[in-house]
Amino acid sequence: MNPGGYRLLGMWVLLIGVLVVGFDAAMLSQPGSGEAYDLVLQGGRVIDPETGLDGVRNVGIRGDRIMEISERPLRGREVLDVSGLVVAPGFIDLHAHGQTNEANEYQAHDGVTTALELESGEDFLTEWLASRTGRALINFGATVPHAGVRWRAMDQYAAQADRMGRMVRESGLETEELAEVRRELGQARYEPVPPGRFASMVEGLEAGLRAGALGIGVSVGYYPGATRGELFEVYRVAAEWQAPVFTHVREISLAGIQEAIAHAAVTGAPLHIVHLNSMALGEIAVALEMVASAQAQGLDITTEVYPYTAASTGIASTLFDPGWQDRMRISYRDLQWQDTGERLTAESFSVYREQTGTVIIHLMKPEWIDAGVGSPVTMIGSDGMPYAPGAHPRSAGTFARVLGRYVRERGTLTLMDALSKMTIRPARRLEGIAPAMRLKGRIQVGCDADITVFDAATVSDTATFEGDLTFSVGIPHVVVGGQFVVRDGVTVPDVYAGRPVLGRYRR
């Protein structure tokens, strides 16, 4: 055969091969062929903020991973029709103080699949992680807290440190004796770590990172005794380990924000400023510009806001030391006692401060929140409180409120932008310290099957400042690690799908 004949024959062979392969692929793609997935979410509007995907797709899940995203039908042992609903990455909350299943249930109904304690951190991180593993509704993790490490570095509190360690080893993390020792440590908030003890403080921070911490929690607003030299040393450690600092800044002012940015700039530490709205108040436009400018200069600095005009914290905290009215620009009537809903007076404030407990602080204006939520530099973080019937509604409704009020009703954000603030951007904030986050915050093949399914036309928060916590609506299904934790708007009983999110230095 001449060369031209061989070429012709080769073309026919190639064509037949392509047809055969195409035929086989087509056969395998039919709903009745191939191995069935464990779960198929069928016909939903799949939105992935990282890739920009926004279209009707079928999502095949096997085990805890997304295995296929396709326009063609998929076989599944269970096929759930989610037509007309949005299929989004599960929401990631970087700022959640409610770290119990009671609190997690409200978060799950708000679409949250990962709730992390990054501002305050967890003192006994190894024991805390062990106590939650296999028992958590949604994914969890925490930072090493500078607040806890700093007082242990002070010689005068060595006895209390030994006592607390012994109590945790013998009785666990939730005992009245342990809480009593913590109350005894109130004075440590006002004392600096002596420079001669910085090495001990650094040792404690590094031990926390080796235990799996997701960075360093620096809630310096609650311990005014910390010097700038002490904080500089903390940021220096963060830069050396490339572990993000999550900070409640020193004071409610631009000065506090500037201090944090300065430490990050001169050390190279990654920085995340929590609840910028309640730190900047009426100067939030300038604060947002500061963060944007820092990012434009190449600094690794991020921030978050929550979509409510009130804050919440302990009434016995240093935030209510004398002069609080001027610092917060409010009065007694702007404080609401969590347990009863009553507004305070000078007399009741004095009684409750001695008693201790939680207050809701009405100190922000709606236009400040609008600016924060709508800003391109912010993420959404709830600052959700530990479960209590009258807790701040952000504990139950933060993410649904953004989707309902700020996307659907006001048009402050596009749906894609809002989801980006709740999913991929929080995931990216943590990817450097937590490899597992590279598989979260995304609807992509190979990523974790942490998925929130919601109705864009009805999703809303329902919790208010006047009543007890209530579930958000319009979020019928929430999947964590391939398992439903919320199905048809109801909590699935006895499913503990949450896994620890660990820092890369874990040993």
Count of CB atoms within 10 A of residue 2's CB?
A: 7
Q: Rounded CA gap, 113 and 479, in Å? A: 7
The tens-digit pLDDT sequence of the chain (507 residues) is: 443 443 343 434 334 343 333 333 333 334 444 689 999 999 999 999 999 999 999 999 999 999 999 999 999 999 999 999 999 999 999 999 999 999 999 999 999 999 999 999 999 999 999 999 999 999 999 999 999 999 999 999 988 888 888 888 888 888 888 888 888 888 999 999 999 999 999 999 999 999 999 999 999 999 999 999 999 999 999 999 999 999 999 999 999 999 999 999 999 999 999 999 999 999 999 999 999 999 999 999 999 999 999 999 999 999 999 999 999 999 999 999 999 999 999 999 999 999 999 999 999 999 999 999 999 999 999 999 999 999 999 999 999 999 999 999 999 999 999 999 999 999 999 999 999 999 999 999 999 999 999 999 999 999 999 999 999 999 999 999 999 999 999 999 999 999 999 999 998
- Give Cα 351 distance to the centre of its chain: 34
What one-letter code names the amino acid at 344? L
Q: Rounded CA gap, 202 and 146, in Å? A: 10
The strand ranges marked E within 49-105 are 53-62, 65-70, 79-81, 86-89, 91-93
Position 161 scores a pLDDT of: 86
Position 26 scores a pLDDT of: 34
Supply φ then ψ for residue 463, to 5 degrees: -70, 145
Position 162 scores a pLDDT of: 86
Buried/exposed 401-435: b ≥16 CB within 10 Å, e otherwise? bbbbbbbbeeebbebeebbbbbbbbbbbbbebbbe
Position 17 scores a pLDDT of: 41
Pairing of strands 139-142, 112-117: parallel
CB 44 within 8 A of CB 85: yes
Count of CB atoms within 10 A of residue 316's CB?
A: 17
The continuous run of DSSP H or E covering 362 comes out as strand 358-362
Position 191 scores a pLDDT of: 97
pTM: 0.92
Position 16 scores a pLDDT of: 38
The angle, 0 to 180 degrees and rounded to 10, between the axes of the packed helices 198-210 and 228-241 is: 40
